[in-house]
């Protein structure tokens, strides 16, 4: 999985909305889903291979395979 990490959830949401506009997809307002770090508010977009073309070269260079080690994911809603 590829992740693009942002400082805030709003930044991640705005980037996903921008990608939806660039893709020309009127049915969806977001292209990627975000995972939010519950401790500090960072957010990571889960970027799928089919939509890598929507990223800038700098964003492609910033992709990581895993969330940072200090990441605190949201609790599992099924537990």
**pLDDT 10s per residue in the chain (79 long)?**
799 999 999 999 999 999 998 888 767 788 999 999 988 989 999 998 888 999 999 999 999 999 998 998 666 778 7
Contact 39, 7 (CB under 8 A): no
pTM, full prediction: 0.84
Q: Give the pLDDT of residue 74.
A: 66
β-bridge mates for residue 35, sequence order: 44
């Amino acid at each position: 999985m590829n992740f693009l990490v942002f400082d805030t959830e709003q930044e991640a949401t705005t980037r996903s909305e921008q990608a939806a506009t660039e893709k020309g997809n009127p049915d969806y307002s977001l292209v990627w889903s975000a995972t939010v770090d519950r401790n500090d508010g960072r957010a990571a977009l889960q970027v799928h291979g089919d939509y890598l073309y929507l990223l800038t070269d700098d964003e492609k260079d910033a992709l990581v395979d895993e969330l940072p080690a200090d990441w605190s994911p949201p609790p599992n809603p099924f537990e």
